Chains A and B, each alone.
Chain A
Amino acid sequence: MTIPDDTQLTEHGLNANGSGRILLLACGALAREILALQKANGWDHMVLACLPAIYHNTPEKIVPAIREAVAKHRDTYDEIFVVYADCGTGGLLQAACAEMGVKMVEGPHCYSFFEGNAAFDARDEITAFYLTDFLVRQFDAFVTKPLGLDRHPELRDMYFEHYEKLVYQAQIKDPALEAKARDCAETLGLAYEYRFTGYGDLENALKAL
């Protein structure tokens, strides 16, 4: 499968394409990583479909969209796996998945499962702002524009005054992304930290299917 365009993944997601026993119903922000894992591991029994990644900014849209997608696809596949963590749904996604009889990724959000939930929890960081590869590439769509920083840069301190650092959690090693992440930290007035995570618990969760 060709790698989908980031803007497409942000705004529209990705339709299921291909045949396989298991449907991975994922956040668009995870598409590239899932496709890379599929390719590397030869997981031909999995098909990927994604919801718009921008739901990250409006988590109340996630649960209804997952319910709709599960209802739409459940007769077509033997199994549906929801590739979301809680992602700001306050436990509602987990409750909905349990009710529908589908499994999902463990953890509070992708920042946690990319580092590994246990390792992330042990850090107990509360003043870090995280970006993944996808969020570095889509920084303007997820941060600058929705927070109005392009129109009103003076709002920056209202949003970020209690943050101390931006942590770039890298899934792949890419100097260009690292340079961009550094710029993002500068834009937000935060210290910068690079943390290579690879795919963390995401790989383990998919491997178990």
Chain B
Amino acid sequence: MSDQEDDIILSKLNDEDLVAQMFDDLYDGLKEEIEEGVHILLDRGWEPYRVLTEALVGGMTIVGNDFRDGILFVPEVLLAANAMKGGMAILKPLLAETGAPRVGKMVIGTVKGDIHDIGKNLVGMMMEGAGFEIVDLGINNSVDDYFAALDAEEPDILGMSALLTTTMPYMKVVIDSLVEKGRRDDYTVLVGGAPLNEEFGKAIGADAYCRDAAVAVETAKEFMARKHNQLAAG
């Protein structure tokens, strides 16, 4: 079969086949194809939120599962994330206009002394895909940086990330400062990063350690549901 015959014309696919093809394209990290697919679905009258959840998050969930199961590795996940980012860039302004549901708000940042942000960026993107508003503080954040963002943004969740054994203890410094100021219960604190584990998360007083981006999204949703239930009960 020639290459030409292999070419798939996205615009000629029906919605179901197009979404399935976008899953494949996301898996293969094909940013331009994802952007094209997003435009086609929008042109067909899909709500931006539906494109986001069904086409992008649906596809990225498969990528996340295969990463967790050791089928995909970091480079492939990054390429997929980059493709999703392309689609998100188109959808984001439209989501704001169309009043898509907002699940909660999260301030997220890599801790002081640490410049690693790949995992944090993935978490931020997947959280956005799940309907969270994300305020990304970037890398190398001090206690003051976190507090400034908490004051300005009033989020539901504080997310902290670290890749190094030497920097992960700083998460405790931030949490201890929250406790000192009597503000620990104002936020759900989620932590993550390669050298962390569940015991560490508990030991420093975080609400949860999240092994990967998918777990972070599920955990954040659970905590938001609990918060809503408490408010409803109260």
Using CB atoms and an 8 Å cutoff, list the residues of chain A in contact with chain B: 59, 86, 88-92, 108-109, 124, 126-127, 146-149, 151-152, 155, 158-159, 162-163
Contact = CB atoms under 8 A, between A and B. Distances in A.
25 contacts: A86-B165, A86-B195, A88-B164, A88-B165, A88-B195, A89-B195, A90-B165, A90-B168, A90-B195, A91-B165, A91-B200, A109-B165, A124-B113, A126-B113, A126-B114, A146-B74, A147-B74, A148-B74, A148-B75, A148-B76, A151-B75, A158-B82, A162-B116, A162-B117, A163-B115
Contacts of A126: 113-115, 140
B20 interface: no
B165 A155 contact: no
Among all A-B residue pairs, the 5 with the closest Cβ atoms: A148-B75, A90-B195, A162-B115, A86-B165, A108-B166
A88 B164 CA distance: 7
Interface of B: 73-76, 78-79, 82, 113-118, 139-140, 164-166, 168, 194-197, 200
- For A90, A124, A147, A155, the residue with the greatest tally of chain B CB atoms inside 10 Å of its CB is A90
Contacts of A148: 73-76, 78-79
A149 B78 CA distance: 12
Contacts of A88: 164-165, 194-195
Contacts of A149: 75
A161 B168 CA distance: 21
A127 B139 CA distance: 11
Say whether chain A's binding surface is mostly helix, strand, loop, or mixed: loop
Contacts of B113: 124, 126
B11 to A, nearest CB: 27
Contacts of B195: 59, 86, 88-90
Contacts of B168: 90
A130 B42 CA distance: 46
Nearest to B193: A90
A93 to B, nearest CB: 10
Given A88-B195, A163-B115, A146 B165 contact: no
Contacts of A162: 115-117, 139
A90 B168 CA distance: 8
Contacts of A92: 197
Nearest to B139: A162
Contacts of B139: 162
B196 A90 contact: yes
Contacts of B166: 108
B118 A159 contact: yes
Given A108-B166, A147-B74, A162-B117, 10 more contacts: A88-B194, A89-B165, A90-B200, A91-B200, A109-B165, A126-B115, A127-B115, A149-B75, A158-B78, A163-B115
A149 B75 CA distance: 8
A180 to B, nearest CB: 23
Nearest to B116: A162
